[in-house]
Structure 1
Amino acid sequence: MKSSFVILLLALGLCYGQKKGTQTQELHLDMPISNCESGSCSTQATKITIDSNWRWTHDISSATNCYTGNEWSSQFCPDSDTCTANCAIDGVDQNTWTGTYGITAGGGSVTLKFVTHGPYSTNIGSRLYLLESDSAYRMFHLKNREFSIDVDSSNLPCGLNGAMYFVEMDQDGGLSEYPTNEAGAAYGTGYCDAQCPHDMKFIAGKANCDEWVPSADDPNSGTGKYGICCPEMDIWEANSQAQSFTSHPCNVDGYTPCTGTDCGDNGADRYSGVCDKDGCDFAAYRNGVHDFYGPGMTVDSSKKVTLVTQFITSDGTDNGDLVEVRRIFIQDGQTIQNTAVNFPGVTAYDSITEEYCHEIKSFFGDFDDHSAKGGLKAMGDSLGRGHVLVMSLWDDHYAHMLWLDSSYPTTGDLNAPGVLRGPCPTTGGVPSELENQYADASVTFSNIKIGPIQTY
């Protein structure tokens, strides 16, 4: 599917391009990390860029919008080829970072604000990527490695998700793979994930405006004909009330455009797509432990916490199969082991393993798409090829984040295992209400470290 998509682009010729705008000079914010992979730790001068979806998209020869609100311009974008030739995504300078997107960074830390009222628009959330240079993402090879990051989710109410995760994006953002992509990693291109999102404005270097449907309740988004899939490893999806980490394998390698059934769109096709959208999640609340994570609890969400995630292989080498994803918390100088599953008759697993995924999905009555898509071995194979680090803050127009922090599905029996996922009300999480009531909500990520197991 991926190769045929490339051939299609080549057949269209090289005159079309996902162009770089010249209205604003691009600036990447410094966010150094600690690299301990050699056995001793040193500072790596990494930076962050913002996803292309958040960037100003305009006519290449003027400041006229190609995309306004949640609609493409009929003048510049009557079809994908014309739109790709006409339109550019522009740079982000210091004023744009803070005044438009509400993002501040310094000293190895970045804070993402939920709602920012800028001079030309109202921005909701953001999605950032870690760069190793101004033109390439920093690739992480996580098998037989330990990854740690400090997170402050104290200012995130029910319904929001301050997420940090890895996805199998191309290191250059697709610059070399897709001739029509002229922007690359520098401009935050090439996003993909296991949900195979259709809301990306550009996919494989071409405008995704064909068959575009503006969202009925999201003034900034819509869906196009194409989705974009790749394996995803969620390190942290959380607010102040609930948290989880999740493996999402796919049966494709890396950045893969999709249409139709292959995208696994919600509904009858969900489990027919190329990626495991449900994933195998480890969530304390859903696993029957309701006093482990939250304000004043064992892991106190009113304070910053260090998340340590270990990717353990079958033979203790980088080439072994991934067999376990283990979580450790550090807070106030104390090491806190992950809680264990707390249901009668279910093994007290405290990490993601194949055995855990099989047993917990059977107990919850969930379809085991994780195994169908290759399980932890497939997830490990993907991690071995290299992943890009993503940090985001978002609200949920589809399910109001109830799958993370409330009862879901909302029609489910509250006594049925797996339905209770957090303490938040099922009436909450409505984006319009959150954006009005919690505009100043934020999440802070800091102190990123990568190294051998037991680095912490």
Structure 2
Amino acid sequence: MFPTLALVSLSFLAIAYGQQVGTLTAETHPKLSVSQCTAGGSCTTVQRSVVLDSNWRWLHDVGGSTNCYTGNTWDDSLCPDPTTCAANCALDGADYSGTYGITTSGNALSLKFVTQGPYSTNIGSRVYLLSEDDSTYEMFNLKNQEFTFDVDMSALPCGLNGALYFVEMDKDGGSGRFPTNKAGSKYGTGYCDTQCPHDIKFINGEANVLDWAGSSNDPNAGTGHYGTCCNEMDIWEANSMGAAVTPHVCTVQGQTRCEGTDCGDGDERYDGICDKDGCDFNSWRMGDQTFLGPGKTVDTSSKFTVVTQFITADNTTSGDLSEIRRLYVQNGKVIANSKTQIAGMDAYDSITDDFCNAQKTTFGDTNTFEQMGGLATMGDAFETGMVLVMSIWDDHEAKMLWLDSDYPTDADASAPGVSRGPCPTTSGDPTDVESQSPGATVIFSNIKTGPIGSTFTS
């Protein structure tokens, strides 16, 4: 994700986060079937499930129902310090559909933006794919493989992001490395990404209460002393007006807690341990404003298939990742990715290190992607294993303008790389989006993995 995320939910009686396990609401993971394909194009359906991120869950005292976190403030008596808070507070189960607007049907996952629950109004959500055992995350290595899914984002306006991506989380959510984390992946713990987010309430099995400050523009969010970092592969960040595919890399392997300069906050953005900008391929930003959107070549007013291929240098699963290639399928037609139409750049249609270097030079952007190892580092993260994340969110920090409008807003919109989509720079304010588009929904379905060329029909 481009900005540091402030993902919000008013769950049950209060937004809450924790590491113990509560017993007031049963945790039942929604089932989701996915397909595993072979080189011959034969695909087998397997049963999996999704789990809600711990950041959305009700957090209360162990054995009781007193909130450990209310609004954007910790209870000082229950949470005087990180370790005491972890011992005192429990994450509870989730009412996925009633409270969070998360539903599944066969191979389809639907994420609703605003849900009026019995006790609360929930904003956005984030879920992870669990493995066959229903208690650990499914781990993906996509080197020399392709990943395919269908998406319906016709109901996602400017300012929203229906995202599908991979992050280098621990398979067990960190419970093995950090014994104070009793909830683990079964309750959606252990999140990390290249923005090194500080809004995660528990990191490394401890409450992020040190230096906690409530957000000035979000009554339910705040930031703590620590961030949580890891490699991130953004397969799909999109709304009906624009989309981007973006690898981000780090100098560390696996989920890593950061503090100070290592987090890359503010003016130290390019001094941290992760590449926050990434190397994005956004068709509009790369000069083709006719490719993706309502009524365009890839018509976002109806469902379509997104195919992402991870090519290695020697076409084996052990070779260095050298190219990320994108295809689309809609109405029975395979659609090649758009080509760059930027003065001074070759006509690239995929992500390679050469593309990334040319883009950074042409746009005048800092090239931390190359400095941190580029695509080879992304491939190394896949070898370690990455977790599938699907979410819907709005952006309290940058209004999603980095995805669908002109960004930064104080730059000349005609300068290469500044215009990223057709949305006005006045769009994306969370207050407006939440009040005007509460029914916004993204549907991800028909997820398939397999060797190159096995998951779709050409």
Q: Which amino acid aligns with 2:34?
A: I
User: Is 1:319 matched with 2:318?
Assistant: yes
User: For 1:110, what is the secondary structure of its paired residue?
Assistant: strand
User: Is 1:226 matched with 2:251?
Assistant: no
Q: Which amino acid aligns with 2:32?
A: M
Q: Which amino acid aligns with 1:167?
A: V
How big is each residue's C-alpha offset from its partner over 1:296-341, in whole Å with a ceiling of 9 and x where there is no partner? 0000000111000000000000110000000000001100000000
Q: Which amino acid aligns with 2:179?
A: P
Mapping of residues 54-133 of structure 1, within 5 Å: 54-92=56-94, 96-132=95-131, 133=133
Mapping of residues 417-428 of structure 1, within 5 Å: 417-428=416-427
Mapping of residues 403-442 of structure 1, within 5 Å: 403-442=402-441
User: Is 1:302 matched with 2:301?
Assistant: yes
Q: Contact conserved, 2:160 with 2:400, CA < 8 A, in 1?
A: yes
Task: Give 1:218 shift.
Answer: 1.2
Q: In structure 2, how many angstroms separate the alpha carbons of the residues matched to 1:320 and 1:138?
A: 22
Task: Give 1:415 shift.
Answer: 1.5
Task: Give 1:75 shift.
Answer: 2.1
Q: Which 10-residue stretch deviates more, 48-57 or 67-76?
A: 67-76
User: For 1:435, what is the secondary structure of its paired residue?
Assistant: helix
Q: In structure 1, how many angstroms separate the alpha carbons of the residues matched to 2:378 and 2:212?
A: 32
Q: In structure 2, how many angstroms separate the alpha carbons of the residues matched to 1:417 and 1:288?
A: 9
How big is each residue's C-alpha offset from its partner over 1:420-442, in whole Å with a ceiling of 9 and x where there is no partner? 00000101100011111111111
Q: In structure 2, how many angstroms separate the alpha carbons of the residues matched to 1:264 and 1:25?
A: 39
**Unpaired segments ≥5 residues, structure 2:** 1-17
Q: Which amino acid aligns with 1:299?
A: V
Q: Which amino acid aligns with 1:23?
A: L
Task: Give 1:37 shift.
Answer: 4.8
User: For 2:376, what is the secondary structure of its paired residue?
Assistant: helix
Match in the other structure for 1:4: none
Q: In structure 1, how many angstroms separate the alpha carbons of the residues matched to 2:164 and 2:426?
A: 26
Q: Given the superposition, is the C-alpha separation of residues 168 and 428 from structure 1 closer, same or farther in structure 2, using an over 3 Å criterion?
A: same
Q: In structure 1, how many angstroms separate the alpha carbons of the residues matched to 2:315 and 2:255?
A: 28
Match in the other structure for 1:208: 208
Q: In structure 1, how many angstroms separate the alpha carbons of the residues matched to 2:108 and 2:449?
A: 15
User: For 1:135, what is the secondary structure of its paired residue?
Assistant: coil
User: For 2:192, what is the secondary structure of its paired residue?
Assistant: coil
User: For 2:350, what is the secondary structure of its paired residue?
Assistant: coil
User: For 2:280, what is the secondary structure of its paired residue?
Assistant: strand
Q: Which amino acid aligns with 2:102?
A: I
Q: Which amino acid aligns with 2:21?
A: K
User: For 2:351, what is the secondary structure of its paired residue?
Assistant: coil
Q: In structure 2, how many angstroms separate the alpha carbons of the residues matched to 1:433 and 1:73?
A: 31
How big is each residue's C-alpha offset from its partner over 1:356-403, in whole Å with a ceiling of 9 and x where there is no partner? 000011001111110011101111111111100000000001100000
**Unpaired segments ≥5 residues, structure 1:** 1-16
Q: In structure 2, how many angstroms separate the alpha carbons of the residues matched to 1:199 and 1:292?
A: 35
How big is each residue's C-alpha offset from its partner over 1:210-261, in whole Å with a ceiling of 9 and x where there is no partner? 1111111112211011100000000000000000000101110010000011
Task: Give 1:67 shift.
Answer: 1.1
Q: Which amino acid aligns with 1:204?
A: N
Mapping of residues 320-339 of structure 1, within 5 Å: 320-339=319-338
Mapping of residues 96-245 of structure 1, within 5 Å: 96-132=95-131, 133-245=133-245
Q: In structure 2, how many angstroms separate the alpha carbons of the residues matched to 1:112 and 1:377?
A: 33
Q: Which 10-residue stretch deviates more, 239-248 or 117-126?
A: 117-126
Q: Which amino acid aligns with 2:438?
A: A
Q: Given the superposition, is the C-alpha separation of residues 127 and 436 from structure 1 closer, same or farther in structure 2, using an over 3 Å criterion?
A: same
User: For 1:383, what is the secondary structure of its paired residue?
Assistant: helix
Q: Contact conserved, 2:231 with 2:254, CA < 8 A, in 1?
A: yes
Q: Contact conserved, 2:48 with 2:134, CA < 8 A, in 1?
A: no
Q: In structure 1, how many angstroms separate the alpha carbons of the residues matched to 2:333 and 2:120?
A: 44
User: For 1:302, what is the secondary structure of its paired residue?
Assistant: coil
Match in the other structure for 1:12: none
Match in the other structure for 2:15: none
Q: In structure 2, how many angstroms separate the alpha carbons of the residues matched to 1:44 and 1:230?
A: 28
Task: Give 1:122 shift.
Answer: 1.4
Q: In structure 2, how many angstroms separate the alpha carbons of the residues matched to 1:142 and 1:371?
A: 21
- Please give the root-mean-square deviation of Cα atoms over the aligned residues, in Å: 1.0
How big is each residue's C-alpha offset from its partner over 1:72-114, in whole Å with a ceiling of 9 and x where there is no partner? 112211221221111000112xxx1111101111111111111
Task: Give 1:268 shift.
Answer: 1.8
User: Is 1:29 matched with 2:30?
Assistant: yes
Q: In structure 2, how many angstroms separate the alpha carbons of the residues matched to 1:371 and 1:436?
A: 41
User: For 1:356, what is the secondary structure of its paired residue?
Assistant: helix
Q: In structure 2, how many angstroms separate the alpha carbons of the residues matched to 1:121 and 1:65?
A: 14
User: For 2:98, what is the secondary structure of its paired residue?
Assistant: helix
User: For 2:270, what is the secondary structure of its paired residue?
Assistant: coil
Q: Contact conserved, 2:168 with 2:255, CA < 8 A, in 1?
A: yes
Match in the other structure for 2:7: none
Q: In structure 1, how many angstroms separate the alpha carbons of the residues matched to 2:82 and 2:130?
A: 29
How big is each residue's C-alpha offset from its partner over 1:18-41, in whole Å with a ceiling of 9 and x where there is no partner? 211111111001001001157542
Q: In structure 1, how many angstroms separate the alpha carbons of the residues matched to 2:84 and 2:311?
A: 48
Q: In structure 2, how many angstroms separate the alpha carbons of the residues matched to 1:221 and 1:424?
A: 26
Q: Which 10-residue stretch deviates more, 192-201 or 64-73?
A: 64-73
User: For 1:376, what is the secondary structure of its paired residue?
Assistant: helix
User: For 1:61, what is the secondary structure of its paired residue?
Assistant: coil
Q: Contact conserved, 2:344 with 2:362, CA < 8 A, in 1?
A: no
Q: In structure 1, how many angstroms separate the alpha carbons of the residues matched to 2:206 and 2:117?
A: 28
Q: In structure 2, how many angstroms separate the alpha carbons of the residues matched to 1:37 and 1:130?
A: 21
The counterpart of 1:50, out of the listed 49, 52, 63, is: 52
How big is each residue's C-alpha offset from its partner over 1:254-294, in whole Å with a ceiling of 9 and x where there is no partner? 100000111111x2210111110000000000001001000
Q: Which amino acid aligns with 1:439?
A: P
Aligned-pair identity in percent equals 59
Q: In structure 2, how many angstroms separate the alpha carbons of the residues matched to 1:361 and 1:90?
A: 45
How many residues align? The count is 436
Alignment TM-score, normalising by the size of structure 2:
0.94
Match in the other structure for 2:365: 366
Task: Give 1:345 shift.
Answer: 2.8
Q: In structure 1, how many angstroms separate the alpha carbons of the residues matched to 2:359 and 2:175?
A: 41
Q: In structure 2, how many angstroms separate the alpha carbons of the residues matched to 1:310 and 1:278?
A: 21
